[in-house]
Amino acid sequence: MTRARVAAAGAAVVFTTAALLLGGAFRSSTAAAPPPAPAGGASRLQAGFALGDTAALIGSLQQQLLANPRNAHAYGLLGLAYQQRAREIADPVYYTKSEGALHQALRLAPNDLVATSGLASLALSRHRFRAALALARRVHSLSPSTAQTYGLLGDAELELGRYDRAFADFDRLARLKPSLAAYSRVSYARELLGRPADALAAMREALDSATGEPEPTAWTRVQLGKLYWSTGLLSAAAAEYRAALAVVPGYVHALDALAQVEGARGHFAAAIALERRAVATTPLPQFVGYLGDLYAVSGRPALAHRQYGLIGAIRRLLVANGVKLDLETALFQADHGIRLQETLAVARLAQRERPSIDGDDVLAWTLARTGHCEEALGYSKLALRLGTRDALKFFHRGAIERCLGHRAESRAWFRRALSLNPSFSLLWTPVARKALR
C-alpha cells in the first residue's frame, strides 16, 4: 500500500482537535482495577481512546501515587486518564484535574515528555491554541524524532492560520508513522481540498490501521460515514454508523450521527430517540443543540428551548474549567438569532483567536445575520479559499449574496449546497430549497 502523503503544493489543511468532540465511549464495569497502563498507553490516551475502563485506571494510578507520591510517570498517565474521562462523560472538571496532575509530574521531572505533551493536548482540548503551540514546541525540543510531536504542532498551527508550517508537520507525521492518526489527517486534508474520493481512500487506510481495536474502529467508521454524509450519501453513511455501533454498542458519536441521518429523512421520532441516548450518556453541547433543533422542527418548542437552555449551563461549566468556546457560541447564537449584536463581537474575537476557514465562515455568517453583508462576503471568500466542498459554507455564501441583492449568484450557491448534500442542515436546507422555488 502506498504511503499516504499530506503535502500538496500551495495547499492548507485544518485538523480540529477539540478532544470533547473525539473518541471515548462511556464504559461502566464491575471488574477489578486494571494493572498499570501498558507501554504505549500514553500515546493511546492522547489519541482520544481508552485503555479499557478509564475510571478503574484512574483509581489504579491514584493507588500507585499513594504508595509512591514521587512517581512522575504515574502523574503523567493520570493526567492523560483524566482527559480521557472528560471525553467519555463530558465533564470538564476532569480537565482541571488533568492540569494539576500534569503540573505535578513536571515539578518532579521537568523534562517529562508524557506530561509536557499531555499539557499540549489539554491546551488543544481547551481551544487555547497559542498555549498549545508553545507546549508542542517544547515537546519537539525534548523529542524531535517522536511522530506524535508533529501532530501536536500541526493541530495548533492550523487553528492559528499557519497553514504552511502545519502542512509540513502533517507531512512529517505521515512519513514518520503511517497510522490511524496520520491517515485520518490525510483524509481530512483531502476533504478540505475538495477531493472527497481521495479523502475516503485515506480514511479506509485509517480503518485498516484500526483493525482489531474496537474504539478506534468505531471512531474511524463514524468518520467514514461523515464523509459519505457530506456528499449526500445517506444510506452509505448510515451503514458506517451502524457498523460502528456493532463494534462498540452505544458509541455516542455513532448515535448522534445516525440521529442526523434519521432527521434528514424526516424520521423525527427515531432521530430524537437516538439523540436522547447520546445526550444521556455524554451531554456534549453539539448533541444537546441538535436534540433541541429536532424538537423545534417537529413542533415541540418548549422542549427545544429546554435543550437550548441546557447548552448555556454546559458552556458555563466548560468555561469555568478553562475551555474557550467563542467560535462555537457564536455559531449557535447566529443560527438561532440570539443576541446578534453581542454575538458579532464574540465572532470577531473568535476569528482573531482562530483564523481558520471555520473562524472565517462563522464570522461571515454572523456578519450576514447582522446586516454587514459587504464585509461578510470577504470573510466568506476566505472561508472557501482551500476549495473545500462544504454545503453549509456554500449556503452561507448564498445567504450573503442574497443579502447583497445578487440574486443569480445567491441561487447558484444555494444550488451548489443542495447538489452536494440535499440534507446538509436540519435548519437551513428548507431555507435553501424555498429560495430556489
350-383 pLDDT tens trace: 999 999 999 999 999 999 999 999 999 999 999 9
Distances from the Cα of 228 to the Cα of 38, 105, 232, 260, 309, angstroms:
36, 43, 7, 13, 32
DSSP summary character for residue 38: P
> Quick one: pLDDT at residue 166?
82
- Tell me which residue range forms the domain holding 62: 8-31+41-142
What are φ and ψ of residue 159, in 5° steps?
-70, -15
**Does residue 412 fall inside a structural domain?**
yes
> Quick one: pLDDT at residue 49?
61
What is the Cα–Cα distance from 208 to 86, expressed in whole angstroms?
28
Residue 118 CB neighbours (<10 A): 31
How many residues does the structure list for the chain?
A: 437
Residue 72 has pLDDT above 90, yes or no: yes
> Quick one: pLDDT at residue 308?
96
8 Å CB contact between 409 and 400: no
Q: What is the dihedral of CA 351, 354, 355, 359, to 10 degrees?
A: -50
Residue 128 or residue 33, greater confidence: 128
Residue 87 has pLDDT above 60, yes or no: yes
Taken in order 132, 133, 136, 137, the sign of the CA dihedral is negative
> Quick one: pLDDT at residue 27?
25
- Given 87, 122, 142, the domain boundary residue is 142
What is the Cα–Cα distance from 144 to 139, expressed in whole angstroms?
8
8 Å CB contact between 47 and 23: yes
> Quick one: pLDDT at residue 24?
28
8 Å CB contact between 137 and 150: no
**Does residue 359 fall inside a structural domain?**
yes
What are φ and ψ of residue 369, in 5° steps?
-70, -20
Taken in order 249, 250, 256, 261, the sign of the CA dihedral is positive
Q: Comparing C-alpha atoms, which of 216, 265, 222, 252 is closest to residue 240?
A: 222
How far the first Cα of the chain sits from its last, in Å, is 48
Residue that the C-alpha cell 477531493 belongs to: 195
DSSP summary character for residue 374: H
**Does residue 330 fall inside a structural domain?**
yes
> Quick one: pLDDT at residue 8?
34
At 328-354, the pLDDT tens digits run 999 999 999 999 999 999 999 999 999
**Does residue 120 fall inside a structural domain?**
yes
Residue 163 has pLDDT above 90, yes or no: no
**Does residue 108 fall inside a structural domain?**
yes
Structural domains in the chain (count): 2
Lowest mean pLDDT: which of 211-220, 231-240, 338-347?
A: 211-220
Residue 184 or residue 428, greater confidence: 428
Residue 229 has pLDDT above 70, yes or no: yes
Lowest mean pLDDT: which of 19-28, 67-76, 154-163, 409-418?
A: 19-28
Residue 39 has pLDDT above 60, yes or no: no
- Given 142, 160, 195, the domain boundary residue is 142
Distance, CA of 43 to chain centre: 19
> Quick one: pLDDT at residue 16?
33
- Given 142, 163, 180, the domain boundary residue is 142
What is the Cα–Cα distance from 232 to 227, expressed in whole angstroms?
9
Distances from the Cα of 190 to the Cα of 62, 65, 201, angstroms:
42, 44, 10
Q: Where are the alpha helices (DSSP H) in 160-300?
A: 163-176, 180-192, 196-209, 214-230, 234-247, 252-264, 268-281, 285-297
> Quick one: pLDDT at residue 48?
57
**Does residue 356 fall inside a structural domain?**
yes
212 Cβ contact list (under 8 Å, min separation 6): none
Question: What's the mean pLDDT when you consider all of the chain?
Answer: 88
> Quick one: pLDDT at residue 17?
31
Lowest mean pLDDT: which of 5-9, 314-318, 382-386?
A: 5-9
**Does residue 312 fall inside a structural domain?**
no
Residue 154 has pLDDT above 80, yes or no: yes
> Quick one: pLDDT at residue 158?
85
What is the Cα–Cα distance from 13 to 28, expressed in whole angstroms?
37
Which CATH number fits the domain that encloses residue 332? Answer: 1.25.40.10
> Quick one: pLDDT at residue 30?
25
Q: What global pTM score does this model have?
A: 0.86
**Does residue 156 fall inside a structural domain?**
no
At 271-307, the pLDDT tens digits run 999 999 999 999 999 999 999 999 999 999 999 999 9
